[in-house]
Amino acid sequence: MEKTVTAHHRCVKEQYSVLEQAAADQAPDPCQAAGQATTAHAENRARVVKARQRYDQVQALKAAGKSVTAVTRQLRLAPGTARRYYHAESAGEVVAGSLAGWPSKLDDYKPHLHQRWNEGCTNIQQLHREITDLGFRGSYGTVYAHLAPLRGMPAPPAVPAPPKIRHITSWIRRRPDNLGTDEQLQLTGVLAACTHLDALHHHVKAFAEMMTGRHGGHLDTWIAAARADDLPHLHTFANGLERDHAAVLNGLTLPYSSGAVEGNVCRVKAIKRSRYGRAKLDLLRKIILCAE
């Protein structure tokens, strides 16, 4: 069973990779949020507000038929500034530079900050230390001003790591009643991701019911069904059952068990190990007989 799970564990990893990609696509973009916050802050700066008011004044005079020279003289503007406002098609054209801002020392480290933020690290002091180790020479205030608007962003949906092979094997072997709610959900996802593991789970469940209910008459049907699926390791197990068909059939049908014999064998081995080097065969025989 474990070999089959190992052979098809790649299907489970691929399914979880798809879930991780979907979660990443749904996660908010911190770069976009930071840019919107920076633009909103810049819009309220006195320089931008004054530039928009000045643009409205220049366009009002232009609509009234005033020339560039008259606008320059009336509003007391520099000739170059007056011409720029006079010929601009919108206010956004004249304030674009102020909204975009100047290049920052933080620009080269923003991708790292955004990646770590999406990974769940929202401690700004920790992020400042990380980029400082990477070569950032700016202040903590610069990092805080950039990341502070991201505090209200919803966290990206968490995707658990794909279950390990031994966990999947254990879930398939155990009774469904003995699985917790989380384990049942994960097993359902694993079986939905791989048809081979789903078929393996079906065969293991059928064999367990046949063994616990002593339905040995279903053995040949089970072997035929197991061989019909593309499960080479299960085929090997079925071949072993056929080689000892009579013994397996009796074990799945008759109420007798070798449990008592196996228990005595284990008891004798335990006594033999405890007396190793201290008792010969005759003394060891008496100890075993007296211990019964």
To the question of pTM greater than 0.75 for the whole model, the response is no
Q: Give the pLDDT mean for 259-286.
A: 85
Helices (DSSP H) in the chain: which residue ranges?
2-7, 9-26, 30-43, 46-63, 68-75, 79-87, 91-100, 110-118, 124-133, 140-147, 165-173, 181-193, 195-212, 219-228, 232-243, 245-253, 259-274, 281-290
Residue type present at position 59: Q
CA-closest candidate to residue 251, choices 220, 215, 209:
215
Confidence bin at 32 (pLDDT 50/70/90): low
Segments making up each domain of the chain, as ranges: 28-102, 104-155, 189-256, 259-290
Confidence bin at 281 (pLDDT 50/70/90): confident
pLDDT at 39 over 60: no
